[in-house]
Structure 1
Amino acid sequence: MKRNIAILLGVFMMIACASDKKEIDKKPPVIKATSTETAYKVDTEWFAGRWSIAPHVAHDTLEIICYGSKAAFTFKTDIDSIQFDVKPNTSKDFYVQLNDTILAHTIITGIPFKTEAISHTNTDESTIKIKYQRGKSDYLENLKKAYPLTLSNASNDTEKVLQVLHWTNNRWKHSGNNSPKKNDAISILQEAEAGGRFPCFAYAIVLRDQLNALGFKARTVYLKTADAKTRKNPPGHVATEVYLNDLQKWVFIDGQFDVMPSLDGVPLNAVEFQHAISTNFDKFELLSLAAEKTKTSKIGYVNFVNDYLFYLDTTLDNRYHPDSRHLVDGKASLMLVPSGAENLDHINFWEMDVNYCKYTTSANTFYAKPMY
């Protein structure tokens, strides 16, 4: 009997020890620090100086945006680090031990990235035609002589455009506070050589003109936010779109950031890009010839551009020095408006009436094959 009791006690002790170990394993991990300054990374994007260790705050919680099904998270102190995945609407925690004494309980909570895919109609409005340069242009010939481009080892249109995109991005450092004296590629590039630094629209113009000089059909595209009418800060961004003959489609490219969005190996136009952000964040990629250490991050670019991908407009006449300017119903530009949205007719920030646009909800019309 005594022997049986001893055996039972031994079993109970083993169970108790296992239970204690299980409880210990459940405790949050501890990392060390000698400074309150930290940095953290969400997927590929580092954030420095945005979070400090605060032992006096109970259960200090950092919310991070999960753009896909999960986010790879790294938290780094001056002497230690921890890594784990965070899923939307879930939390993980750990302690930071400051100077081997004080413990700061830190909670990381995943917040789902919220954006809705914008829809458009697919009707064909044959009365709306966008015109492009056909045949030689003295201006484009002068551009080719002044700033010739040699495309190396490019086997398709995508590779050619990526080379022109990268070349354009490297002409100057971005500055949103300076505008070029003239809005043509030759003048902008001359100013850049003299040390000029310009905003997004200058990249878009140079990229457009260089692509047109190479025989592509390219245009500047003006992006505006859903609240462009009342937004308190700048509600717009300017990029470029180019028609790839081998793929028979329009493609969005951003000279300021040196990126071309692509999904499943197919470059995207602005509407497709917005849809990919909303429904396929994990899968789409940003093509670029930039070196890895200087590449624009996916999260960083989406944070910047996503709001702007609502209203899109482009000029109806992309010819150089035509005898007469092509208009539709007296309007010089075509604006693509999402289904159900109001036509954008005024922008308070710039104190500007948008009275130059013909409006359409048809993506087919906005992205018609360049025939004229």
Structure 2
Amino acid sequence: MSKKPKRIYLTFLEQPSSLGDVAFLPTDPLTNQGVERLRSYTKIEKIISKDETDFVQALKIAKFTSEAWGHDGFNSNPKKQDALTILKLAEKGASFACVQFASVFVQLCQSVGIPARVLNVTTKNPGLGSSGHGHVTAEYFDNQLCKWVWIDPQIHAYALSRNIPLSYNELAELIVDGKKTIY
């Protein structure tokens, strides 16, 4: 029986400028008071099990995030971008754009020791037109697979090739090469 590898933890994460300064993400996420409040508020330990694979845990966190509020691509960003603030506003009826889905997913993953990062995706010419030329999504680091894995927490989407979860770059390469993937 193989032993589950030890988790790796981020010591630094540069968030995209669209999120502003996110002071929420601590060096040691498991002992930070803000993170403890987030875990308590979301009851994240009841959503995931430590016995599950990183992939299953990340999928459950993405599902929780995708169901937390409705998408609104034309809303104003809240002043505070931490997951707890966003989730409390959503509980009061607020809706948010893809950037908040990604931010909440990443912060929830990190709150349980899963390294995660926000990804900004744009079209070839994002300056053309008024909207719809970009998207914000996420990846988490899967310790069993020893690689980053893409999940879109807004729509609870991911990609597989030969039953192996793909990173965003692996997915992009398969699309460019015209190969099939399973979503």
Scaled to the shorter chain, the TM-score interval is 0.7 to 0.9
Tell me the equivalent position of 2:151: 253
Q: Does 1:141 align with 2:22?
A: no
Q: Which residue of 2 aligns with 1:244?
A: 142
Q: CA deviation at 1:162?
A: 0.6
Q: Aligned to 1:216, which of 114, 133, 154? A: 114
Highest RCO, 1 vs 2 (Cα 8 Å, sep ≥ 6): 2
What is residue 159 of structure 1 aligned with on the other side?
A: 56
Alignment CA distance shift 1:203-1:154 (3 Å): farther
8 Å contact from structure 1 (residues 154, 160) kept in 2:
no
Match of 1:266 among 150, 164, 171: 164
Structure 2 distance, partners of 1:226, 1:274, is 13
Match of 1:10 in 2: none
User: RMSD of the TM alignment (CA)?
Assistant: 2.0
**For 2:105, which of 171, 191, 207 is the aligned residue?**
207
CA distance in 1, matches of 2:38, 2:94: 18
Query: 1:165 Cα deviation (Å)?
Result: 0.6
Asked if the contact 1:223/1:237 (under 8 Å) is kept, the reply is yes
Structure with max Cα Rg: 1
Structure 1 unaligned residues grouped into runs of 5+: 1-129, 287-372
Is it true that 1:175 corresponds to 2:76 in the alignment? Answer: no
Name 1:131's counterpart in structure 2. 12
**1:154 Cα deviation (Å)?**
5.8
| Greater share of residues in strand | 1
TM-score (norm 2): 0.78
| Cα distance in 2 for residues equivalent to 1:274 and 1:209 | 25
The 5 A counterparts of 1:328-367 are: none
Deviates more, 1:210-219 or 1:258-267: 258-267
More helix by share: 2
Counterpart of 2:12, as a letter, is K
Task: State the alpha-carbon separation in 1 of the partners of residues 106 and 76 from structure 2.
Answer: 17
Other-structure match for 1:79? none
In percent, how many aligned pairs have the same letter? 28
Q: Is 1:227 aligned with 2:130? A: no
CA contact (8 A) 1:178 1:197 kept: yes
Check the 8 A contact 1:244/1:251 in 2, yes or no: yes
Matched residue, 2:7 = none
Relative to 1, partners in 2 of residues 1:145 and 1:166: Cα closer, same or farther, differing over 3 Å? same
SS at match of 1:222: strand
> Aligned pair 1:277/2:175, yes or no?
yes
- Code of the residue aligned with 2:66 in structure 1: it is N
8 Å Cα contact 2:72/2:97 also seen in 1: yes
Q: Which residue of 1 aligns with 2:88?
A: 190
Question: TM-score, length-normalised on structure 1?
Answer: 0.40
CA–CA distance in 2 between the matches of 1:175 and 1:158?
A: 27
Give the secondary structure class of the aligned counterpart of 1:257: coil
- 2:54/2:114 contact within 8 Å kept: no
Matched to 1:155, the amino acid is E
Corresponding residue pairs, total:
156
- Residue identity in the other structure for 2:164: V
* Alpha carbons 1:180, 1:188 under 8 Å: kept: no
